[in-house]
Amino acid sequence: MDTPIKSAAVIGGGPAGLIAAEVLIENGMQVDIYDSMPSLGRKFLMAGKSGLNITHSESHEKFTTHYGRRQKEIETYLNQFTPDDLRVWVKGLGIETFVGTSGRVFPVGMKASPLLRAWLKKLQTNGVKIHTRHLWQGWINNSLIFETPNGDVKVKADATVLALGGASWPRLGSSGAWVDWLEQAGVEVEAFRPSNCGFDVNWSKHFREKYHGYPIKSVVLSFGNFQQQGEFIITKTGVEGSLIYAASSLLRDEIDSKGKASFTLDLAPASSREKLIASLTHPRGSRSMASHLEKTIRLKGAKVGLLHEFLSKEDFANVDNLATAIKGLKIPVIATRPIEEAISSAGGVKFEELDANLMIKKLPGVFCAGEMLDWEAPTGGYLLTACFATGRAAGFSVLNWLKRH
């Protein structure tokens, strides 16, 4: 007599859910994917809008250091599915990758849509069934409940993979609404907070109106032990961009504990303070101070605007004080931008609630993966790689668990 085919419900159609479904369907299971949105992978597509940074080319040892206090947990799954493995997997979908100048890895063509199309085609060809506009509403009598345009639907499955995302970009499906259903089941969830986010700065009206949208390039940002060179953008409300995102978890935690934070900018990292003083003491004759700064130390535009914003007229006119500020200008930030604007989120299902196989201890047969877990990482391919790695691990954990049950 044939053994009945086991079934799995995967809730969430982002990378973590899709790769879990791939593992399961390729190992002979009946797989159904449920997603609340009209189509799958919407946040994945948004991530690829300006170039899909899928992973990073640095050494595996260095790669795994980017996961903060949850490095130990995430490293377990990255060891099973490395950045190199991810590149091989992408190639298996017919898409080549390349390493950019910063070490970041992108698909040729840069966009997410060709990869997602090829992936969904593969899944459906292999037999995965996709159910969109299915909003998960928890459980009733061990059945999954989904709200759909045609009324509530009950689903029974032998195992469930939850890959519902965090709480950033709710309009793309990651709303964090699932938290209620897990907390009702006794699962402890760390509160969501914005990650890879911008910050509010109390700009003067003049500065805000003159410089919003301007880039600040080739500066070094320092905060505590953190120091990195890069660029960011002045916004009407404050600051955002890659350099700000890199320090965002540290700045956010400082604001959470002390109510405020300040980072320091070196506006001229190629010049020492002594060299700046020597250049600035040259007679400027009839030139304006702005013209003098541009001619002698090549400082202009929004960088000079930042100096005017935070220095008194007396300090600006004092060469020693001006040079000190150029090498270490303090920028006070007062709040994170709302989580809806953040690239990703911190918080989620605590790893202490899971066994080593990503199964919720209090809910046998229910596994978690992706950004709904309590971890965070900077941009640079680290977020996506960990979503793939945990999703894949959850898929194999389902298979191993079903063999025993």
Annotate 50-113 with DSSP letters as a single string: T----EE-S-HHHHGGGGGGGHHHHHHHHHHS-HHHHHHHHHHTT--EEE-TTSEEEETTS-SH
Q: What is the structure's pLDDT at 286?
A: 67
Phi and psi at residue 149, in whole multiples of 5°? -60, -20
Question: How many Å apart are CA 253 and CA 333, to the nearest integer?
Answer: 12
Check if the beta carbon of residue 98 is closer than 8 Å to that of residue 105. Answer: yes
Check if the beta carbon of residue 399 is closer than 8 Å to that of residue 193. Answer: no
Cα–Cα separations (whole angstroms), residue 18 to 160, 201, 324 = 13, 39, 52
At 220, list the tokens. 């070094």
Q: What is the structure's pLDDT at 357?
A: 96
Q: What is the structure's pLDDT at 39?
A: 93
Check if the beta carbon of residue 201 is closer than 8 Å to that of residue 358. Answer: no
Q: What is the structure's pLDDT at 1?
A: 43
Counted residue by residue, the chain has a size of 405
Question: How many Å apart are CA 195 and CA 197, to the nearest integer?
Answer: 5
At 190, list the tokens. 């760390």
* Vertex 130 angle, CA 129 and 135, to 5°: 135
Overall pTM surpassing 0.85 (yes/no): yes
From first to last of the 405 residues of the chain, give the pLDDT tens digit.
Answer: 456 789 999 999 999 999 999 999 999 999 999 999 999 999 888 877 778 999 999 999 999 999 989 999 999 999 999 999 999 999 999 999 999 988 999 999 888 999 999 999 999 999 999 999 999 999 998 899 999 999 999 999 999 999 999 988 788 877 888 999 999 999 999 999 999 999 999 999 999 999 999 999 999 999 999 999 999 999 999 999 999 999 999 999 999 999 999 999 999 998 888 988 888 888 777 677 777 777 788 888 899 999 999 988 888 888 888 889 999 999 999 999 999 999 999 999 999 999 999 999 999 999 999 999 999 998 889 999 999 999 999 999 999 999 988
Question: How many Å apart are CA 71 and CA 377, to the nearest integer?
Answer: 9
Check if the beta carbon of residue 380 is closer than 8 Å to that of residue 56. Answer: yes
Region at 213 (left for phi over 0; alpha for psi -120 to 50; beta for the rest): left
Region at 279 (left for phi over 0; alpha for psi -120 to 50; beta for the rest): alpha
Q: What is the structure's pLDDT at 3?
A: 66
- Protein fold of 7-195+345-404: FAD/NAD(P)-binding domain (3.50.50)
Helical (H) or strand (E) element with 216? strand 215-223
**What are the domain boundaries of the chain?**
7-195+345-404, 199-336
Neighbours of 288 (CB within 10 A): 9
Q: What is the structure's pLDDT at 141?
A: 87
Check if the beta carbon of residue 128 is closer than 8 Å to that of residue 161. Answer: no
